[in-house]
Amino acid sequence: MPAPQAVHDLVERYEYNRPVYHKGQKNETELRREFLDPFFRALGWDIDNNKGSSEAYKEVAHEDPIRIRGQTKFIDYSFRIGDKRKFICEAKKPGVAIKDDLSAALQLRRYAWNAKLKLSILTNFEEFAVYDCNVPIRKEDTAATARIAFFPYTEYEKRWDRIAAVFSPDGIRKGSFDKYVETTGEKHGTAGVDEKFLEDIENWRLLLARNIALRNSALTQEDVNTAVQLTIDRLIFLRICEDRGIEKYETLRAVSDGEAVYSHICELFRFADDKYNSGLFHFADEAGSDEMPDTLTPSLLIDDAVLKNIIRRLYYPESPYEFSVIPAEILGQVYEQFLGKVIRLTAAHRADVEDKPEVRKAGGVFYTPAYIVDYIVTKTVGEQVKGKTPRDVAKLRVLDPACGSGSFLLGAYRFLLVWHRDWYIENLVPVLKDRLPTSLEVRALLPDPVASGKAAKKEGAYELPVYKSGNGDASKLRSDWRLTTAERKRILLNNIFGVDIDKQAVEVTKLSLLLKVLEEESGENISKQLKLFAERALPSLHRNIRCGNSLVAPDYFTHKQAHPFNT
């Protein structure tokens, strides 16, 4: 099919003004508005959201925010089918040599690979580069690494059939996008972020298991499994918080530079206990809590070399990961594979890692694909919330009686977060446009606060559940509205419940859900919460996500239960 007239006009206008543009008289914003917006509009994308889609389902997100090492960065274009991001596009101003711009290429590929996207685009309209984002970044990469297509604006018209087949919404729905990746992308030496991260944490597990077993001869097999799991989870949690700007970047790296590394790391863990209250860091009895503290890991002996090896792999250039970009759902999928193995101790107290018996029998671990999770959640939770208010939805309980690594609970929680945000945008933001609602108006709209934390217990603690994170007219910039941390915690504690017989799976489910709570959080907000309300950033999930057997009678627990690590 021939290129639309709009594309012909864009090419002609750019050609005519190209000398002026190269003198710097056209910035990136102008380029996007005058050339790239019309270009993608010609491909069939709803650039201006003329369909009036809700925030979660807009086809094109402009200036899509992500937090990188404490700073908010913005992806120029994020293209979505339904609520799933398919590819991103980074724009540069005219005159930037896209063909040789290494930093721009690495930035694009780093974002896209960590977000598990297959293809992405780097362009200044004059040049158009397509990258295979299945290829992880390596220290020796050039601007051409993983680039599978490159052509100038003068070829847009003759290549339009191919461009539209791959990057138009119709082409993506017909499968041309995925087919293009399979036939054109690099086939050797590639690994997705999930495969690469699984490989790393499995290596860390073996290193830690053997060292802990060697240096702590009194530990049982269950103790070793618990110690290794908690240490890996805590390091990953804090490293993710660094990239999200909640913790100071390179905090873990700094404490690993000297000697007695584990004792310094334990100090960080204790600070985290004071700050987060997640159960992941819980070292002492607390009044009013029946959660058992961790008395095992603070006394461990772990060699410096082992910890330095692991922490080094968590930072660039040794690490390809941008933890603020990796979705919590991807981490859950990785952990589901990770949980298919268990640490065993030999008679000589040497640690080995092997498949669990049930995994060997089944021929491997098979996690539920995201699209199946989304479909089931939409057809179950989605049907239950139709036509209801947050006060009604507060009565809803989502229970997964065999939650595994938490894929269904995470999907349900994500759905409820989006539903609440959109409901508040539709029903509260119009009020907020002109004035703050009265306490009675807020109380009529919102469910009761969760009775946890001093702020929630205060009389009339009906704080607004959304806040505006950007500048401008709130009624127009819908994407600027975010759920407060208190509201995200309330929804989690009130609506999400799970049980699993595998203690490790329970801990992974908690970790995934807690990371979802912090997804849009900042260090500044957490500090304010601690200072104003003496309330820590995360809820404890020990009452929501339990280790147990859902298929037995209540009196089962009157007898001693064999621990799954010892079977």
- Same domain (yes/no): 37, 175: yes
Instruction: With respect to residue 498, please indicate whether it lies within any of the assigned structural domains.
Output: yes
- Same domain (yes/no): 92, 60: yes
The last residue of a domain, from among 332, 364, 396: 364
Q: Please count the residues of the chain.
A: 567
- Same domain (yes/no): 331, 417: no
> Nearest Cα to 117, choosing from 325, 305, 290, 294?
325
- Same domain (yes/no): 140, 241: no
- Same domain (yes/no): 249, 326: yes
* Mutual angle of helices 407-427 and 503-517, in 10-degree steps: 20
Look at the chain and report how many structural domains it folds into: 3
Asked whether 235 and 310 are in contact (CB, 8 A), the reply is: yes
How far is 418 from 412, CA to CA, in rounded Å? Answer: 10
The last residue of a domain, from among 136, 158, 184: 184
How far is 549 from 561, CA to CA, in rounded Å? Answer: 10
- Same domain (yes/no): 89, 167: yes
For position 429, what pLDDT does the model report? 65
Instruction: With respect to residue 562, please indicate whether it lies within any of the assigned structural domains.
Output: no
Which pair of structure tokens corresponds to residue 387?
């036509």
Predicted confidence (pLDDT) per residue in 282-317, tens digit: 888 776 677 788 899 999 999 999 999 999 999 988
Instruction: With respect to residue 209, please indicate whether it lies within any of the assigned structural domains.
Output: yes
DSSP 27-47: -HHHHIIIIIHHHHHHTT--T
Instruction: With respect to residue 316, please indicate whether it lies within any of the assigned structural domains.
Output: yes
- Same domain (yes/no): 346, 383: no
- Same domain (yes/no): 374, 286: no
Predicted confidence (pLDDT) per residue in 551-562, tens digit: 876 665 565 555
The last residue of a domain, from among 319, 341, 364: 364
Longest Cα–Cα distance in the chain: 83
For position 363, what pLDDT does the model report? 60
Predicted confidence (pLDDT) per residue in 236-288, tens digit: 999 988 888 888 889 999 999 989 999 999 999 999 888 886 678 888 877 66
Instruction: With respect to residue 566, please indicate whether it lies within any of the assigned structural domains.
Output: no
Asked whether 88 and 342 are in contact (CB, 8 A), the reply is: no
Instruction: With respect to residue 37, please indicate whether it lies within any of the assigned structural domains.
Output: yes
CATH of the domain at 118: 3.90.1570.30
- Same domain (yes/no): 420, 336: no
Task: Spell out, as residue ranges, where the chain has pLDDT lower than 70.
Answer: 1, 67-72, 184-191, 277-278, 287-288, 360-367, 429-446, 448-463, 469-480, 520-537, 553-567
**Whole domain around residue 244: which residue ranges?**
193-364
CA angle 60, 63, 68 (to 5 degrees): 125
Task: Report phi then psi at 76, rounded to 5.
Answer: -60, -50
For position 470, what pLDDT does the model report? 53
Task: Report phi then psi at 353, rounded to 5.
Answer: -115, 130
- Same domain (yes/no): 179, 276: no
How far is 330 from 332, CA to CA, in rounded Å? Answer: 5
Instruction: With respect to residue 236, please indicate whether it lies within any of the assigned structural domains.
Output: yes
Cβ partners under 8 Å of residue 182, min gap 6: none
- Same domain (yes/no): 312, 441: no
Instruction: With respect to residue 142, please indicate whether it lies within any of the assigned structural domains.
Output: yes
- Same domain (yes/no): 419, 518: yes
How far is 259 from 194, CA to CA, in rounded Å? Answer: 32
